[in-house]
Structure 1
Amino acid sequence: MSRHMISFPIEGQRFNYRVAAIFMVDNHVLVCDEDDDGFSMLPGGRVELGEPSKLSLQREIVEEIGLAATVGDIALTSESFYRRMGYDMHELGLFYHARFDGGDGPDGKSPWRVTHEEDNEHRFHWVDLAGDGLEALNLQPVWLRAVLRNMPVALTHIVHDERAAR
């Protein structure tokens, strides 16, 4: 059976359904740079049609990082509206707590891990939440810096719209 990512264009717009992992260890968060996109993000990817979101995230972690991980409870949901790659984007995001089964975490190396999937290079970095490392990154979505530093204890829904700023 063929795989279908839930991401599609409609008249100059694009819808994305994305899942992401929040790996936090010793006040550090794991972020990913892909190729030369110019931005950083939490590890994860697009959900496939017919695939539960938690299973999608487990698949993405193995494909991109190459390590086994346990995906925990959902922490955040988001609706983000922004412009990228010539499209007005509408992205639905689900963000889950996660941990590596082997106890992996910050080790002082940056990048911590470099992997290749298809034609993409992924560089993973542990960023100290107490320092200014997040400010040095073009971390997307833009609201994520503040939320990571002050993680809500209950499931939180975030709506962020950059369209009015243009």
Structure 2
Amino acid sequence: MRKIELIVRAVIIHDHQVMLVRKKNRNYSFLPGGHVEFGESAANALQRELKEETGIDVKVKRFLGAIEHAWKENGRQHAEINLIFEAQPKKKTKIIRSLEAELIFWWQDIDQIKQIKLQPYCLSEFLPDWISTKNKECWASAIDH
């Protein structure tokens, strides 16, 4: 049975840069975060995922938006709903350690975000606006009909 996965993502800003991540064997990047477990709040899931992946404790701030996303990879169809939040590390850090061998984290200049192959792809469009103008939350779809 195919299912839609519920994902939480963090927009973490440091010195006009945003934290991004990619898997070592992939050619695209995404915001840090992960799956919401049954019975877990979105905020708690985001805190847990960032702690597991980087060791960083974060404060979850405002809700930025939701993006539905579907793609095919290795012959398998995937679908997810991404809940995106602004988050702030409880202790400022410029160094991001990956605690998961397959993940690579880095800080990307916000001005260059449109040059990155970011998934869901519409994040490249919304991310600079969310950061610079504090726009209200939005809904977007990266599903082609």
**TM-score bucket of the superposed structures, by smaller chain:** 0.7 to 0.9
- Cα 1:99–1:150, aligned 2, differ >3 Å: closer, same or farther? same
| Larger Rg over CA atoms | 1
- In structure 2, C-alpha distance between the alignment counterparts of 1:116 and 1:32, rounded to whole Å: 12
Higher strand share: 1
The aligned counterpart of 2:48 is 59
Following superposition, the deviation at residue 155 of structure 1 comes to 1.3
Distance between the aligned counterparts of 2:38 and 2:64, measured in 1? 22
- How many residue pairs get aligned? The number is 142
1:14 Cα offset (Å): 4.3
Give the structure-2-normalised TM-score. Answer: 0.87
The 8 Å contact of residues 14 and 87 in structure 1, kept in 2 or not, is answered as no
Q: Which residue of 1 aligns with 2:122?
A: 143
Unpaired stretches in structure 1, ≥5 consecutive residues: 1-9, 106-111
Q: TM-score, normalised by structure 1?
A: 0.77
Cα distance, 1:140 vs structure 2 = 0.8
> Which residue identity does 2:117 align to in structure 1?
N
Matches of 1:28 and 1:38, distance apart in 2? 20
Are 2:39 and 1:50 equivalent residues in the alignment? Answer: yes
TM-superposition CA deviations, 1:27-57 (whole Å, max 9, x none): 2110012231222110000111111111000
In structure 2, C-alpha distance between the alignment counterparts of 1:56 and 1:93, rounded to whole Å? 12
1:78 paired residue number: 67
Q: By percentage of residues, which structure has more helix?
A: 2
1:128 aligns with 2:112: no
Q: Say which SS state the counterpart of residue 37 (structure 1) adopts.
A: coil
**Which digits, 9 at most, give the CA deviation of each residue in 1:12-39, with x for residues without a partner?**
x442111000002222110012231222
Q: Which has the higher contact order (CA 8 A, sep 6+)?
A: 2
1:41 is paired with a residue whose SS is coil
Q: 156, 162, 165: which is aligned to 2:138?
A: 156
Are positions 1:116 and 2:105 aligned together? no
State the distance in 2 between where 1:121 and 1:21 align: 19
What is the CA distance between 1:139 and its match in structure 2? 1.3
Cα RMSD (Å): 1.8
